A and B are shown apart, each in its own frame.
Chain A
Amino acid sequence: MATITTAAPRAGLPGVLGHRALRKLLVLALVAAVLVPFAAARWASGSWPEGLTVDVSGPLGGASDWIIDNRDSHPLFLYFFGHVSNVVVIAVRAVYLALLAVGWAGVTAVAALVAWRAAGLRLALGTGAAFLACGLLGMWVPTLQTLALMVVAVAASVAVGALLGFAAGLSDRTHRALRPVLDTMQVLPAFAYLLPVVLVFGIGVPAAVLATVVYAAPPMARLTALGLRGADKEVLEAVESLGATARQRLLTARVPLARKELLLGLNQTIMMALSMAVIASVIGAGGLGDRVYQALASVDVGAALTAGIPIVLLAVVLDRVTGAAGARLGQAPAPNSRALWAYAVAAAVAVTVAGRLAGRPEWPDGWVVGIAEPVNRAVDWMTAHLYSGVPVVGGTADWAGRFTTWVLDPLRDGLQWLPWWAVLLLVAAPAWLIGTWRTALTAVLAMAATGVLGVWKPSLDTLSQVLAAVAVTLVLGFATGIAAARSDRFERLLRPVLDVCQTMPQFVYLIPVVALFGVGRAPAVAAAIVYALPAVVRITAQGLRQVDPAALESARSLGATGGQQLRQIQLPLARPALLLAVNQGVVLVLAVVIIGGLVGGGALGYDVVFGLAQGDLATGLTAGAAIVCLGLMLDRVTQPTGRRTEEGA
């Protein structure tokens, strides 16, 4: 039916002009026709013109030297950054010592009991089991370190996010001003801004916590604002008519009404913070992430997995518990809820005391199950047998080689061969078609900024990797998503797999992808696909499932086959969800393609790694800024208007 309605206007000339998309393209062509000859004559076409670049390496190098020379004496550091840093260290230390003092039995009991009260018995058992598993894997102390870091980082993110959210929720002006800032914070790949944080705070916990806050605060801010703005008008009017002051209205009506959004914000913030825990290990954050990173150095996938599993477990537990707690909000509390809480506290105290009396509060050394060795054997077997010489289909190395030669190379060379203004036009067209002229302008300016920064070529190299990875991700993701939407059984089976792919630190699978695909851009693309796929699958499946059942029913009654239903009803109706999936896929792929700098991905990712490794602010920060610009551009180009309310991880 949808095809009929869109086909009709194509009939006559007025119809063509009336078609908004075509009109936009015509305007764009007109603008191009006027500007391109001028630009081409002024700055010889081809790669980005020299005349339009600004060399920032001098001032950046100077800034870096200034920071190092003044870090111990300048008031800015002594009275501001120094205190920030101290507060973080003291807070993390306090939490860490408290966790150590409670002992392993106590920590497990407290976690399980909180989960019991917040989310029910099943999740309580799951939580307890997850903590015990962390201990069994021999990761008890790193787990506590990560927990301490997370508690502080999440608390800070929630505080910052809630403050921003309140400001945006209560004032339209702030809301408008804040939106682009939050947008930017969210598309920033974390890897790109580690360097400046490190330069100011030095390596270690304070830098890691602050980098995490930048990354994890935006969802909290967004959802707080959303909750406050979405409060029921009638309730507010009723409260106002009772003569409540503005503050009373906020505290007694608007905040309680926004509880669900606030809790969802907390949930998102925790997930983002955890995903940052590993990346932050590059700058010496310690804990589980550090174990993963150190295992990488000795090419030990088993050890990396041993440290990666507790991260996955923490993420899944925290996600489910906060999710379930959110779903319980609004239900009438159980009649004896107070008493049950009291029991829970008493039980936790009892276990803690018992644990301390029984002996050492540390996890006993003997209770450790080594999984590293079998995992390594499995990985070795896999890579030895799949790398090359597989009959008929060829080994993974051959695939990677072909993918590089037939897909990545032509894409990169094509993009780099295009005149710069043609690239800008290519960016403008889809951005304008999907969004407004504003989004198109942002996208074009962001793309142009990479040229101005003098990293046009590496940016296009990175872009080509992103495009290739996104294409594969979407093909696989849509197919899997459609299958998951059609079969409940399949979706249930898929869920834990997706959970693991999404929360497993990317560092863990960097080595297996190298072992399978060799060094180069192919493993970076492969890792990006693994990481971005779950989000695409989930959003697709959810979108398809939400398609109006009545529409499907009527199609079925007209005798449409399954394939026809899918093509003509479900997919068109789920279009917003599919567009969102594309958008999320693009942003997630970019984040990992950059980390691919660690496995030979080259381009901007390599520059960031180089900057971090050599303390070279000029190279690292320029590349970081270019990545941010690319992220903004890709986000805008794929951003359907009105996405704003939706949140993705």
Chain B
Amino acid sequence: MKIGKLKRYLPRGRHVVIGVPFLWLFLFFLLPFFIVLKISFAEADVAIPPYTEIYSWAENQLQIVLNLGNYIFLSEDELYLAAYLGSLKMATISTLLCLLIGYPMAYAIARASKEMQTTLLLLIMMPTWTAILIRVYAWMGILSNNGLLNGFLQMLGVINEPLQILNTNLAVYIGVVYSYLPFMILPLYANLVKHDHSLLEAASDLGSSTFNSFWKITVPLSKNGIVAGSMLVFIPVVGEFVIPELLGGPETLMIGKVLWQEFFNNRDWPVASALAVVMLAILIVPIILFNRNQAKEMEGRA
């Protein structure tokens, strides 16, 4: 065999460079979703692992049995529908709150002096690297009936009886906004800092009010940042487990928590898989939107 021919069989450098991360992500990120899809069509079984195979091979016949029972079960039980709606509502409202609070913060950072910007960014970024679990836990002590917030309000004489905040939806909103706020601020800042100020100056020279030029120039220009930030908050919050588990109460119905219980407490892997498939189907549009946006950011050389 000639050396040239041998070389063709060996992967060329370029293929190795692309292949290694591709293979890893394919094997440990993409392929698992197909397995979830497969198991969502299986039946629960008392075995290890606790589900039945969906295909069988006997007498030269390949039989694939798709059991739709899990999906029918999901649509019949009101608990699951309520959990999906609860998650979507929680995610939508939290995203809006994060946007309302985060936009002015990102704007202020983008307008600060260069040295100040790095320090402020560090201050915003640091909590995202710190245990979300611990930051949520910190709120448990503050929001509980005999916690600091109630103590403070009682001391001021605003209330006589302690307010029930912990274990309600309000506590979950506080926890979610608190945990995800940096994920809104960072992409917004990255976008706002690139803006050309001469546009705003031109607008004010032409007699536009500050608010008007903000609304007509800054906001439309920051569209990509708003989309990226909103998706970074919305998508993970839909599947959030830790925050509703620690801060939420019986009224808090969220799909991440239900999936967790279905999997760990009821050990019903097929139903848990079906829950995940439906959740993914709901999120597919926002995920594609985020990926497109991110691809534009990553490729566009400004």
Mutual binders A and B: no
Which residues of B approach A to under 8 Å, CB–CB?
A: none
